[in-house]
Each structure stands twice: as C-alpha cells, then as structure tokens.
Amino acid sequence: MKRNVRVSIIGGSGYAGGELLRILLFHPDVTIHQVTSRQFVGEQVSRAHPNLRRVTSLTFCRMEDLVPCDVLFIALPNGVSMGYMHDVMLKAKYVIDLGADFRLKDQNIFDRWYHAGHQAPSLLPRFVSGLAELHRKELSKARLVACAGCEATVSILTLYPLVKHGLIRGDQIIIDAKMSSSQGGNTPGLASHHPERHGVVRSYRPTDHRHSAEIEQELSLYDKSIRVSVSATTIEMVRGLLVTIHTVPRGEITEKDLWQVYREEYQNEPFVRIIKEREGIYRYPEPKLLTGTNYCDIGFA
C-alpha cells in the first residue's frame, strides 16, 4: 500500500470510531480525509471526542457527502453497515468494517446468531477476518476486511496455538469473559446508567453469546471438533476485557510445552505478549495496563 494513505471513517462519533480516529491521526503514513456522523454534522470532531481538541480541525460530514479515498473504515452499530455496503465499497479500494455484519462467512449461521436476515449475503465470502496473526497472507491481498469482535479476538488469539498444535480437546472449551461498559457503545441506556452500573457484577450473557460462532469459525480451520461455551459478565470497568478460558488437555502438557507453542506463533507478532511472571501483582494479564494500546496480553496457568 502506498504512503500517505487517504482514509475516511463512517461513524466516527462513537467509541470505536473515536479510538480509530485517535490512532490514525498520529500515524505517519495516513491522512484523514473525511469522518461522518449523523448527530454532529458540520461540527468539529472534538465535539464528540474532547481528547482531540487542537489535535485536528476536521469536521463531521454526512455519509452522502463522502468522496473517493484509499481506505474506508466503517464503525457503525451492528446490523447497519450491511445495508450500505454495496454502495460505500465503491468509494474506496479497501474497506474495513469494525462491526459484526461481515464476520461470519455462512449466512445461515449469521441469521441464527443475530436473529435477522443478512442484507448483503453475496458479500459474506468476500470478507477476510482482520486478525493478522491468523490471516496475514490473505489480508495482504484482501479488499474487504471484517474486524474481529472483542471477546472473539482475545479468545481466538489465546486458543489458536493450543488448537493448532493439538494440545487441547476442541469440544470442551469454556470461556469466561469479564466485560467493560464501553463495549456497549455510547448510546445511553438503563444498563449503562451510572446508578445501575456502579459496583455491578452482572451476568450479561451466561449462554449463547454471539461471539461463540466467530470463535468456532476461526478455530475450526485447525480442529473441526471445536465447540465453545461463552459466558459474559459485565463488571465495573470502563475499558478493556479479561477472558479466562478453561480447556482440557489431550495428554500431559508441561509449562515448557505451552511456552514453546506460544513462542512459535507469537514471537514475531508486535502486538501479542505472553505474560507469566513468577511474583508480583501483575503475574497475569491486567486490562488496566492495556488501555489505549494495541496489545493483547496472554497468560496461562
């Protein structure tokens, strides 16, 4: 891809869009071309993201006013981008969707988990998963990219080396996810209201979490028996995610075996870190330390 890449963002006023905007504004090879928002049309992006005051003078525009660019990011709520995709993909050579609409390859599986008919099913097979650690070769040639979900990203990256090297049983995987409030987006609701959220430890989705399908889709490339059970709990944390995964080994596994497979898969990956200290309070991954970074920390016991 050429340097000085012209990038536009659809849906730049939300949490995901704002974080994406912050990262790209400081990227040496990127120029932000346009950012859309229905709520803040004509206002500076700092109106929605005060942390960007004096960082940029960009103003929000309407999606209808988008002009061609090199890369188009879409940061819209789930179920929205599929209605626009056929049109907006004409605006850029590369399209990267941060939402869930194109993560699943099978239309029937999508309909089952999201309880809605897909509006652009012909595009599903054309999207490549945005997990570079698993799909770097495909991504180098991809025009359409679907970013992985939050719980799915952490779970897939953690399980991938174990599944690929056959260390664990694929049909007995339990995933316990502790979720932060920002994962629900910036639209106010009773569940995010401070008196309701403060101090909470709430079972959000004890069974049938949507990201189960995404995790199974990616890991089944290495083990067809993959079946996961995801339980999601909301806690009093604004940003980040802590996932604890319980697995059953196929045979005897030593700590050396675990280090070996994780190092083999991630030693050259810039954003994946294996964390296992012998002492101290940060012996295992801690979401608080990762806020505002690109890192995914993985530990094991």
Please tell me which residue in 61, 69, 147, 150 is annotated as part of the active site. Answer: 150
Extended strands (E) in the chain: 5-10, 30-36, 60-61, 69-74, 92-97, 128-129, 144-146, 173-179, 201-205, 228-235, 241-246, 272-274, 296-298
Spatial distance between the Cα atoms of 65 and 95, rounded to a whole number of angstroms: 17
Find out whether 107 and 118 touch, Cβ atoms under 8 Å.
yes
> What superfamily does domain 150-298 belong to in CATH?
Dihydrodipicolinate Reductase; domain 2 (3.30.360.10)
C-alpha dist (Å) from residue 144 to 71, 96, 104, 111, 165: 10, 6, 13, 21, 29
> Domain spanning 5-146: which CATH class is it, in words?
alpha beta
- pLDDT tens track for 192-220: 777 887 888 888 888 989 999 999 999 99
The one-letter code for the residue type at 239 is R
At 2 the pLDDT is 55
Would you state the structure tokens that stand for residue 10, as one six-digit string?
A: 């659809």
Spatial distance between the Cα atoms of 136 and 154, rounded to a whole number of angstroms: 17
pTM for the full model? 0.93
The pair phi, psi for residue 60, each rounded to 5°, is -75, 145
pLDDT in tens, the chain (301 residues): 457 999 999 999 999 999 999 999 999 999 999 999 999 999 999 999 999 999 999 999 999 999 999 999 999 999 999 999 999 999 999 999 999 999 999 999 999 999 889 999 999 999 999 999 999 999 999 999 999 999 999 999 999 999 999 999 999 999 999 988 887 777 777 777 778 878 888 888 889 899 999 999 999 999 999 999 999 999 888 889 999 999 999 999 999 999 999 999 999 999 999 999 999 999 999 999 999 899 999 999 9
Alpha carbon 246 to chain centroid, angstroms: 21
**Domain extent listing, the chain:** 5-146, 150-298
With CA atoms as reference, report the closest residue to 104 among 83, 78, 69: 78
Is 147 marked active-site? no
- pLDDT tens track for 261-274: 999 999 999 999 99
At 237 the pLDDT is 85
Rg (CA), the chain: 20
At 145 the pLDDT is 99
> Residue 62 in 3-state DSSP?
coil
Find out whether 295 and 153 touch, Cβ atoms under 8 Å.
no
CB atoms within 10 A of CB 133: 17
